[in-house]
């Protein structure tokens, strides 16, 4: 069996996912093509050498519809021989793409794959693809399916996380992200975005609030209280009847930001790497996915991480750095509590609360960030995991080589 | 069966007139009868000698609903589907583009009857407020099965259609016009037929919106993102209100959502598939059993003492102008009775009039009564402090506060002026009628009439038979309750009568769970999920813990040395005596109460009743809460506290809110399966105590449910 190695990881800066965001005027295939072009140029790979391109995208309609992977490849003028596939495992799509690439490589059927994700949330808003889990009345009530914000509040309620602890975590995310940018930790990965004339559009993540503090965060009003009133709190309580009242503690400040962005990794066999003079930076040790109760929904990162550790034959203490997607502050606090992780080893450069969560791309971004940081600190092993809509969870372990 | 008339304008009038029945009913017969008529009409159409059709009825009602007897016993999906499909096909043939059809609605058109009206191109109704129109199927756990849901959606849009269908309201003609389910009103039969002819003479072709190329569902389909969001909110609101216990309402929303995305005929077919599933569902069978068969059995007077002429009260005296008395007065006024409201002073008695006024004004604002009716109701109120005003009353109801001496005093005062034929009723919850009647001048004319709060809204009254109450008095009380359009159940003069006694077992079981260390939120949420209107602890607070304890002490006294103390008793004693938390009235019970905020669990509750480490199964908790009531109801049957299964069932649903989708306390056993129920009781008995042992006569008693024997 051949091992799967990561040769490169890059991402675009994240623009605010609304019409005032810097990337709103950039169409999704431009964003993806920019990343593809950068990957090709940085690594000097003849594109016909690539076996497949796997792209995560969570709202694959309109500008992102009809398989944006192939559209992006054609737009970037990659070789006709390269195929592309768009996949959707909601928030973990970008990581799932990498995991799938690694599986293909380890099967021996493919030797070089580009994997990553794209999401222009300003152009194609979340949920605009409809779908049965969002809008089928039989299914929603049948499985007691609530919006993710309600699920995040439910976690906080059950775990007893109060508003202040969530805000404190959020502040930490902003501070860490600001430091990472100031110190240039992201430099290696970032592909700035220019217009067709080479005029700059975005160099840095646009969503970070460097100036924020606990007071400012405390002033924000709960985002999901009204939604809860409509009946979603009642549904959540029907699934978790030990809860007397859902506490609405998540706000725009301690939940992930809505942003645009794309990320790619180059994954392949050692042999293929050598023949193209690519340096293997890390080995993908193990990857997995699981699923949990669909109502509370966002607690999948813990069991996914436990499972991937088992698959890798590792212990928690073998992990040097952890990344857990900051979908909501309660998700990370629960993850940290469940696995008893040292806060100084978890999301060390901030996360989606500060920099935003471009749904389909985030998983790939987190993996790239983790790899860069392992290298910067000269550490060995990292684990990245994401909670996922519908109750799913995805996790991956990498090890530097 | 169907009379056929054709006039010189080539307008055909079809008159529904089912032989051997008081009503035209939608059943297998009617579809068959229409076939040759439709064939003939098609021939006429081809020949060009048919301008239009008027569909009307020779009966007092236009067309009653479906055949519930058939639906209750139907067990075969293919047969049900084909039955609904047959009627649907008939309606489709009727409305197919071409000759326009007018429904000339001269009387009630409900359920399947209104579906036929919806299958016509135009609906005209005589503007008589007595006429009822609509699709009330949902109240029996059913839905319109022949395309009515889809037709309504195409006429009104998804959201308005959902409101009408999921509420199952019956509309008076004016309201029906306002909500848009009919097209025109006519002042009488003659004008209705004229308007129908006028419509046909001015309409060349009948073509429904869904048969038009440009036809669109008003407000859009579920594919439209805004509508999709709207449907999502409707879905969660439904889950919030019904705890997902009522599949018919959910089916309506599902059908509207799916049905808006496909063509009309496919949408109707999807609807028929849900309809078939619902007809076969336990909830639907249970609700038909309770609200149709049990209701009919009570209303037909199965338990009314025989041999006494109908009592027709005209004037009712009410002692006490508090909430209860005022509510009872209003219930009487609504049904055309005169009322005399007495209290210690005329000024206080005026409160009864004020209450009635408020309710009447509200009803006026909602258009449920006319101005003439309102004025006539107000004119029928007399207030007084003088018991001599009861002289001309056929019935006097005492509704003062729960104090035996006061009650006896005021009734005696009234009796002094009442004639020998009149009835004196006492509205009490906790004082035995026999005791109250002790000082009565005519104890044989003394009866208990237990109304439930709010008295003008809860459709149930317990008729309490005192030791000396005569059969004739019971019959009269029964007739009076019927006159005010409530459901009379006749109960024994034991503690708590029937409703309060059985309800108390629900509360006690909830309190027992608390003592076992079950999280209080779990008790309350699972009470609601079980289908009860309130959590057991919250209900205990509302009633007052002293009252809850008192009922149980009365049970103890009743059973003497056979009584085994309920585990909740010690909790109640502790709460009352040690912790001084007696309930909502004192703003301190299992909950704490602060103005302006929703009640919260008492913050120290966990200190006194700490959570147990053992895990609690939701299904088991729900079953314990319901089984406790069911077993107590069977005891009541065995002890003749209540004497029939229909009374036990409807008494439970309307008396204290036992889940309607279970069909009431006794139907619950049939739904669960008698053998399974007894087996489960035995398990609970071992695990939780003697209170779950089944009364000896359980099998014998529930076997008396003849309707269910036919099913089995």
**How do residues A121-150 score in pLDDT, each as one tens digit?**
999 999 999 999 999 999 999 999 999 999
Beta-carbon count within 10 A of B78 CB = 8
C-alpha distance from B226 to closest chain A C-alpha (Å):
10
In total, the C-beta contacts within 8 angstroms joining chain A to chain B are 81
Which SS3 state, helix, strand or coil, does residue B125 take? strand
> Which chain A residues are Cβ-neighbours of B524 within 8 angstroms?
244
Task: In whole angstroms, give the CA distance from residue B445 to residue B527.
Answer: 41
Q: Which of B235, B521, B529 shows the shortest C-beta gap to A140? A: B235
Query: What is the tens place of the pLDDT at every residue in A342-360?
Result: 999 999 999 999 999 999 9
pLDDT for B712 beyond 50? no
> Which chain B residues are Cβ-neighbours of A135 within 8 angstroms?
222, 228-229, 231-232, 257
Beta strands in B139-196 (DSSP E): 170-171, 184-186
Beta-carbon count within 10 A of B676 CB = 11
pLDDT for B567 beyond 50? yes
Q: How confident is the model at residue B149 (pLDDT cuts 50, 70, 90)?
A: very high
Task: In whole angstroms, give the CA distance from residue B316 to residue B455.
Answer: 15
Q: Are residues B586 and B468 in the same domain?
A: no
Report CB contact under 8 Å: A140, B522. Answer: no
Is B301 contained in some domain? no
CATH number at residue B196: 3.90.226.10
Q: Which stretches of chain A score pLDDT less than 50?
A: none
Number of domains into which chain B is organized = 3
ω into B454 cis (within 30 of 0) = yes
Q: Which of B492, B512, B537 is the last residue of a domain?
A: B492
How much is the pLDDT for B706?
Answer: 65
The DSSP result for A44-88, as a single string, is T--GGG--EEEEE-SS-SGGGTTTHHHHHHHHTT--TT-EEEEE-
Q: Is A136 on the interface with B (CB under 8 A)?
A: yes
How far is CA B40 from each of CA B1, B9, B12, B201, rounded to the nearest angstrom? 15, 17, 11, 21
Q: Is A357 a catalytic residue?
A: yes
How much is the pLDDT for B66?
Answer: 77
CA dihedral B370, B376, B382, B383 (to 10 degrees): 20
> Which chain B residues are Cβ-neighbours of A236 within 8 angstroms?
none
* Interface mutation target, options B220, B233, B235, chain A, most CBs of A under 10 Å: B235
Query: Could you give the angle at the alpha carbon of B40 between the alpha carbons of B38 and B46, nearest 5°?
Result: 100
Q: Are residues B266 and B358 in the same domain?
A: no
Is B292 contained in some domain? no
Q: How confident is the model at residue B28 (pLDDT cuts 50, 70, 90)?
A: low
Whole-structure pTM value: 0.94
Q: Of residues A57, A75, A91, A250, which has the active-site annotation?
A: A91
Query: What is the tens place of the pLDDT at every residue in A379-397?
Result: 999 999 999 999 999 999 9
Pairing relationship of beta strands A52-56 and A83-87 according to DSSP bridges: parallel
Taking each helix axis from N to C terminus, what angle separates B536-543 and B545-559, rounded to the nearest 10 degrees?
Answer: 90
DSSP state of B596: T
Is B471 contained in some domain? yes
Task: In whole angstroms, give the CA distance from residue B429 to residue B423.
Answer: 19
How much is the pLDDT for B710?
Answer: 46
Query: What is the tens place of the pLDDT at every residue in B214-252?
Result: 999 999 999 999 999 999 999 999 999 999 999 999 999
Residues facing residue A397 across a β-bridge = A286, A383
CATH number at residue B397: 3.40.50.720
Q: Which of B466, B492, B518 is the last residue of a domain?
A: B492
| Positive/negative CA dihedral, B636, B638, B639, B644 | positive
Q: Is A140 on the interface with B (CB under 8 A)?
A: yes
Q: How confident is the model at residue B35 (pLDDT cuts 50, 70, 90)?
A: confident
Q: Which of B492, B522, B540 is the last residue of a domain?
A: B492
> Do the beta carbons of residue A269 and residue B270 sit within 8 Å?
no
Decide which of A147 and B205 is more confident: A147
Q: Which of A130, A137, A235 shows the shortest C-beta gap to B234? A: A137
Query: Which residue of chain B comes nearest to A245, CA vs CA?
Result: B521
Is B398 contained in some domain? yes
Token couple for B351: 């409160």
Percentage of chain A lying above the pLDDT 70 cut: 100
- What does the radius of gyration of chain B's CA atoms come to, in whole angstroms? 28
Query: What is the tens place of the pLDDT at every residue in B460-492?
Result: 999 999 999 999 999 999 999 999 999 999 999
How far is CA B335 from each of CA B61, B309, B475, B480, B482, rounded to the nearest angstrom? 22, 20, 19, 11, 10
Query: Which residue of chain B comes nearest to A229, CA vs CA?
Result: B237
Is B166 contained in some domain? yes
Give the B window 140-199 contacts with A, CB below 8 Å. Answer: none
CATH number at residue B601: 1.10.1040.50
Is B309 contained in some domain? no
Q: What are phi and psi of B105, to 5 degrees?
A: -95, 110
DSSP state of B22: S
Q: Are residues B619 and B635 in the same domain?
A: yes
SS (H, E, C) A206-232: CCCCCCCCHHHHHHCCCCCHHHHHHHH
Report CB contact under 8 Å: A140, B233. Answer: no
> Do the beta carbons of residue B342 and residue B385 sit within 8 Å?
yes
Q: Is A248 a catalytic residue?
A: no
> Do the beta carbons of residue A362 and residue A338 sit within 8 Å?
no
Q: Are residues B508 and B488 in the same domain?
A: no
Q: Are residues B563 and B704 in the same domain?
A: yes
Residues written for chain A: 401
pLDDT for B27 beyond 70? no
C-alpha distance from B508 to closest chain A C-alpha (Å):
20
> Do the beta carbons of residue A105 and residue A2 sit within 8 Å?
yes
Residue-range definition of the domain harbouring residue B618? 499-711
How much is the pLDDT for B711?
Answer: 43
> Do the beta carbons of residue A176 and residue A346 sit within 8 Å?
no
Residues 6+ apart with CB under 8 A from A272: A49, A111, A112, A278
Which SS3 state, helix, strand or coil, does residue A317 take? helix
Report CB contact under 8 Å: B228, A135. Answer: yes
The DSSP result for A253-305, as a single string, is TTBPPPEEEEEEEEEE-HHHHHHTTPPP-EEEEEEEEEE--TTT-S-THHHHH
How much is the pLDDT for B575?
Answer: 98
Is B304 contained in some domain? no
Q: Are residues B267 and B386 in the same domain?
A: no
User: Mean per-residue pLDDT for B511-520?
Assistant: 98
The DSSP result for B533-557, as a single string, is SS-HHHHHHHH-HHHHHHHHHHHHH
pLDDT for B29 beyond 80? no
Query: Which residue of chain A comes nearest to B528, CA vs CA?
Result: A238
Starting at the earlier edge strand, list the strands of the sheet with B52-57.
B2-6, B11-16, B52-57, B101-105, B122-126, B184-186
Q: Are residues B680 and B607 in the same domain?
A: yes
Q: Are residues B164 and B260 in the same domain?
A: yes
Beta-carbon-side half-sphere exposure of residue B406 (alpha carbons within 13 Å): 12
Q: What are phi and psi of B31, to 5 degrees?
A: -60, -45
User: Mean per-residue pLDDT for B289-293?
Assistant: 95
How much is the pLDDT for B20?
Answer: 67
Task: In whole angstroms, give the CA distance from residue B280 to residue B84.
Answer: 13
> Do the beta carbons of residue A122 and residue A21 sit within 8 Å?
yes
> Which chain A residues are Cβ-neighbours of B225 within 8 angstroms?
128, 130
Q: Are residues B125 and B175 in the same domain?
A: yes
Residues 6+ apart with CB under 8 A from B290: B649, B650, B653, B660, B663, B664, B667
Q: Is B536 on the interface with A (CB under 8 A)?
A: no
Token couple for A34: 């920019």
Q: Are residues B388 and B420 in the same domain?
A: yes
CA dihedral B162, B167, B172, B178 (to 10 degrees): -30
Query: Which residue of chain A comes nearest to B529, CA vs CA?
Result: A238
Q: Is A256 a catalytic residue?
A: no
Give the B window 647-706 contacts with A, CB below 8 Å. Answer: none
Closest by CA position to A32, among listed A103, A157, A123: A123
Q: Are residues B503 and B567 in the same domain?
A: yes
Is B305 contained in some domain? no
Average pLDDT, chain B: 94
Q: Are residues B245 and B383 in the same domain?
A: no
Q: What are phi and psi of B142, to 5 degrees?
A: -120, 175
């Amino acid at each position: 069996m051949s091992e799967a190695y990561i040769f490169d990881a890059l991402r675009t800066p994240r623009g605010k996912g609304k019409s005032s965001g810097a990337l709103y005027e950039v169409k999704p295939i431009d964003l993806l093509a920019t990343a593809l072009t950068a990957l090709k140029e940085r690594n000097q790979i003849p594109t016909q050498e690539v076996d497949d391109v796997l792209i995560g995208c969570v709202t694959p309609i309109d500008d992102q519809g009809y398989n944006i992977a192939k559209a992006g490849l054609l737009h970037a003028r990659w070789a006709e021989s390269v195929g592309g596939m768009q996949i959707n495992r909601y928030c973990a799509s970008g990581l799932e793409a990498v995991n799938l690439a690694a599986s293909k490589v380890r099967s021996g059927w493919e030797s070089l794959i580009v994997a990553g994700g794209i999401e222009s949330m300003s152009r194609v808003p979340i949920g605009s693809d409809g779908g049965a889990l969002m809008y089928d009345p039989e299914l929603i009530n049948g499985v007691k399916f609530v919006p993710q914000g309600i699920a995040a509040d439910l976690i906080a309620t059950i775990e007893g996380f109060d508003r202040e602890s969530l805000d404190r975590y959020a502040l930490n995310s902003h501070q860490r992200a600001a430091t990472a940018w100031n110190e240039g930790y992201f430099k290696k990965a970032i592909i700035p975005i220019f217009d067709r004339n080479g005029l700059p559009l975005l160099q840095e993540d646009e969503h970070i609030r460097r100036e924020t503090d606990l007071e400012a965060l405390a002033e924000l009003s709960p985002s999901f209280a009204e939604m809860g009133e409509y009946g979603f709190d009642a549904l959540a309580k029907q699934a978790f009847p030990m809860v007397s009242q859902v506490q609405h503690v998540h706000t725009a400040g301690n939940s992930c930001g809505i942003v645009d962005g794309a990320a790619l990794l180059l994954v392949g066999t050692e042999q293929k790497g050598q023949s193209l003079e690519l340096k293997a930076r890390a080995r993908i040790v193990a990857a997995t996915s699981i699923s949990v109760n669909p109502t509370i929904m966002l607690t999948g990162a813990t069991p996914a991480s436990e499972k991937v550790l088992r698959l890798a034959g590792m212990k928690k203490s073998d992990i040097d750095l952890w990344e857990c997607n900051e979908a909501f502050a309660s998700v990370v606090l629960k993850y940290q509590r469940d696995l008893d992780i040292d806060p100084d080893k978890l999301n060390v450069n901030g996360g989606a609360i500060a920099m935003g969560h471009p749904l389909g791309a985030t998983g790939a971004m987190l993996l790239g960030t983790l790899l860069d940081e392992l290298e910067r600190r000269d550490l060995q092993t990292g684990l990245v995991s994401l909670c996922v809509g519908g109750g799913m969870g995805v996790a991956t372990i990498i090890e530097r080589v | 069966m169907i009379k056929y008339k054709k006039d010189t304008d080539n307008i055909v009038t079809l008159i529904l007139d089912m032989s051997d029945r008081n009503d035209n009913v939608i059943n297998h017969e009617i579809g068959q009868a229409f076939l040759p008529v439709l064939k003939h009409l098609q021939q006429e159409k081809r020949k060009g000698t048919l301008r239009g059709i008027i569909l009307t009825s020779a009966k007092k009602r236009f067309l009653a609903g479906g055949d519930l007897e058939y639906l209750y016993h139907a067990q075969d999906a293919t047969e049900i589907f084909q039955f609904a499909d047959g009627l649907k096909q008939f309606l489709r043939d009727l409305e197919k583009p071409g000759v326009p059809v007018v429904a000339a609605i001269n009387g009630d058109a409900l359920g399947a009857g209104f579906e036929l009206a919806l299958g016509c191109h135009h609906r005209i109704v005589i503007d008589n407020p007595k006429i009822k129109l609509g699709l009330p199927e949902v109240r029996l756990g059913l839905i319109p099965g022949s395309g009515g849901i889809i037709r309504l959606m195409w006429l009104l849009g998804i959201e308005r259609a959902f409101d009408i269908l999921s509420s199952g309201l019956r509309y008076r003609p004016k309201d029906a016009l306002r909500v848009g389910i009919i097209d025109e009103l006519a002042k009488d039969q003659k004008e209705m037929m004229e308007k129908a002819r006028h419509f046909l003479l001015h309409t060349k072709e009948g073509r429904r919106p869904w048969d038009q190329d440009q036809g669109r569902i008003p407000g859009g389909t579920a594919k439209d993102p805004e509508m999709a969001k709207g449907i999502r909110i409707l879905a969660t609101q439904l889950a919030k209100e019904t705890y997902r216990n009522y599949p018919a309402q959910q089916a309506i929303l599902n059908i509207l959502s799916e049905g808006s995305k496909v063509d009309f005929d496919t949408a109707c077919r999807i609807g028929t598939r849900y309809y078939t599933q619902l007809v076969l569902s336990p909830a639907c069978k249970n609700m038909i059993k309770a609200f149709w068969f049990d209701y009919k059995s009570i209303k037909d007077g199965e338990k009314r003492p025989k041999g006494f002429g109908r009592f027709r009260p005209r004037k009712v005296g009410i002692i006490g102008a508090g909430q209860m008395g005022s509510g009872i007065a209003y219930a009487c006024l609504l049904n055309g009775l005169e009322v005399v409201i007495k209290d210690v002073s005329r000024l206080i008695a005026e409160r009864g009039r004020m209450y009635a006024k408020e309710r009447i004004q509200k009803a006026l604002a909602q258009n449920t009564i006319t101005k003439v009716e309102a004025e006539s109701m107000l004119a029928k109120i007399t207030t007084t402090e003088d018991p001599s005003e009861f002289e001309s009353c056929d019935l006097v109801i005492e509704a003062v506060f729960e104090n035996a001496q006061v009650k006896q005093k005021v009734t005696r005062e009234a009796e002094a002026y009442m004639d020998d034929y009149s009835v004196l009723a006492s509205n009490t919850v906790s004082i035995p009628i026999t005791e109250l009647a002790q000082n009565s001048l005519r104890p044989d004319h003394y009866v208990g009439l237990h109304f439930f709060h709010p008295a003008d809204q809860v459709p149930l009254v317990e008729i309490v038979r005192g030791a000396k109450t005569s059969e004739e008095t019971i019959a009269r009380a029964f007739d009076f309750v019927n006159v005010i359009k409530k459901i009379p159940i006749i109960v024994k003069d034991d503690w708590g009568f029937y409703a309060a006694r059985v309800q108390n077992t629900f509360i006690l079981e909830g309190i027992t769970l608390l003592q076992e260390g079950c999280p209080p939120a779990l008790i309350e949420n699972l009470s609601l999920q079980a289908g009860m209107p309130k959590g057991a602890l919250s209900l205990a607070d509302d009633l007052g813990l002293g009252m809850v304890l008192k009922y149980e002490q009365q049970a103890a006294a009743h059973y003497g040395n056979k009584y085994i103390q309920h585990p909740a008793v010690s909790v109640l004693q502790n709460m009352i005596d040690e912790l001084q938390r007696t309930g909502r009235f004192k703003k301190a019970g299992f909950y704490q109460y602060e103005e302006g905020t929703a009640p919260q669990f008492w913050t120290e509750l966990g200190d006194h009743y700490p959570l147990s480490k053992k895990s609690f199964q939701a299904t088991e908790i729900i079953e314990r809460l319901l089984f406790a009531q069911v077993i107590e109801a069977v005891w009541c049957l065995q002890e003749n506290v209540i004497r029939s299964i229909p009374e036990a069932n409807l008494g439970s649903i309307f008396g204290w809110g036992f889940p309607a989708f279970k069909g009431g306390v006794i139907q619950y056993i049939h739904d669960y399966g008698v053998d399974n129920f007894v087996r489960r009781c035995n398990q609970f008995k071992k695990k939780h105590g003697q209170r779950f042992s089944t009364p000896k006569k359980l099998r014998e008693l529930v076997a008396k449910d003849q309707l269910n024997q036919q099913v089995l």
